[in-house]
Amino acid sequence: MKKIQASLTSRIGAIMAVPLLAGAILAGPAAAAPAKPQVKTAAAAQVKTGAISVTLDGKKLPLKSQPIQSKGYILVPMKDIFNSLGASVTWEPNTKTIIATSHNYLTMTLQVGASHAVVNGKNVKLDVPAALKNGVTYVPIRFVSESFGAIVKWDGASRAVRIQSAESQMEEARIRAEKERQANRLTTAEIVAKNDDSVVLIQTDFGQGSGVVVDSHAVLTNHHVMQEAKSGKVIMNDGRELTIRGVASYDEKNDLAIIVTEEDLDVPAVDFGKLDDMEKGDSVVAIGSPLGVQNTVTEGVISNFGYDNGSFYYQISNPIDHGSSGGGLFNQFGELIGLTTSGYEDTAANINFAVSSEDAMSLLWETDLESEQISFLKSSLPDTLEGASNEEIVKLLKKEFNGVPASDGMLELSDWKVSRDEAGWLQLTANVHTGFYDVYGSKMEKNLRLWAFNTYYDLHRLLPKEKIQLNLYYDKKVDFEPRGYAPGVVTALPDGKWQVRYSILDVQFKDEVLIKIPS
């Protein structure tokens, strides 16, 4: 996969502004007349008086007419030099005026015989004016080239003008910078030494995750780590436990949140890297706390790049697990390029994902870490369901408990029903998507148990006095009589079809919880 080009293009545009601005004010002499060579051979004399050649970025320019000299300065055909520099040119014959423009960032006006030119609205004195000779318009090569950000050198020995364009200069600078950067690659041990203390374990009253230090009191993590949390602490690599004051800002779409601690974190903030520095196959190091095992280090590579709903993300081969969310993903220079956030379970392929840190940088720049309004995220659930009608409970279940997340997708839930039996139990039922369950059901026991426990936690908080039984049902109609099912599972229907209905999950709770997945 090619590098992402959008931000690279904007950076090139920013770089180009420097030489172009400088070039616009460089109106000094073109190549000074070379001193007469002190050699007596006929060959040397030929070099001195031979034709002048012009090269651009090492390639000879095909000039339709030979350059001329005036007052010791070299002039070349107007169209040839402007076209080679990527500029468009207009000739106004009535006033003998040349108007050249380039990519909307430079406009130059020269008039044949005039002592001044106009560059981006400013008058600039010329050492030699443009000239008209034998029907060809000539312009001073040094002034024109340098106005477009080029470097011009005169080689007197070979009577050659050598031009290096702004684009060539930038490419040379890029190659030099890349060589210098590659010389600063770190080993895995050096990456860990640089960042280990700046990766933290986050524990809340709702769950657990990881985070990275981005300021003296600020930690960057995933939004879903802080969702539904009402209190929490940051546990440092040295064992210190710091109280979380709240969430200063968040970006739910990109799964990002910045939390603020009451106490000073007292460790360096991580350095941020750039998405467009990374290529498929580059080595990356992840530091996080999978299953609560603090600051676990894993190595991997960028397996792929992804783009979803306006956001970039990495696919990585680093092993991660529950608790790794919000952990740091570092490039070969020890810079943070992403936060580990999710992955596929039950696969040997290590298909995992990290959100790009560039979205996090934007969020950090917009965040007021000193705000008095910092607090925990508002829950999507109400404070209580006590006194709510069955219809109101069904509405909430449809909105907030509409699926069981799994490594292969989402097991959708439908047909929620709420009733109360003779023994006073509140009974909640829903049907699962049978097509999904037919394919992936055998791998979902872990997902069902985790969903059951989280659902118990939420519903018990909302209805603390109730005894609740929750059942998820497999409910499917077929056009033949099924065999081998337990009594009561298969029912004949009036239309000649048969219904198969059985519970795949039975959760019962009050203050304690029982979770049963029927075999």
213 phi/psi in degrees, rounded to 5: -80, 130
Kindly state the tokens that stand for 507. 């959760």
Give pLDDT tens digits along the chain (519 positions): 333 333 333 333 333 332 322 232 233 333 333 333 322 223 333 335 578 999 999 999 989 899 998 888 999 999 999 999 989 999 999 999 999 998 768 899 999 999 999 999 999 999 899 999 998 999 999 999 999 999 999 998 889 999 999 999 999 999 998 898 888 899 999 999 999 999 999 999 888 999 999 999 999 999 999 988 999 999 999 999 999 999 999 999 999 999 999 999 999 999 999 888 899 999 999 999 999 999 999 999 999 998 887 788 999 999 998 889 999 999 999 999 999 998 887 777 889 999 998 889 989 999 999 888 899 998 888 989 999 999 999 999 999 999 998 878 899 999 999 999 999 999 999 999 999 999 999 989 999 999 999 999 999 999 999 999 999 999 999 999 999 999 999 999 999 999 999 999 999 999 999 999 987
**Taking a C-beta distance cutoff of 8 angstroms, is the pair 220, 211 a contact?**
yes
Alpha helices in 386-480 (DSSP H): 390-400, 434-440, 445-462
CB atoms within 10 A of CB 169: 18
Burial class (CB in 10 A: 0-12, 13-18, 19+), 98: buried
Kindly state the tokens that stand for 279. 């290529």
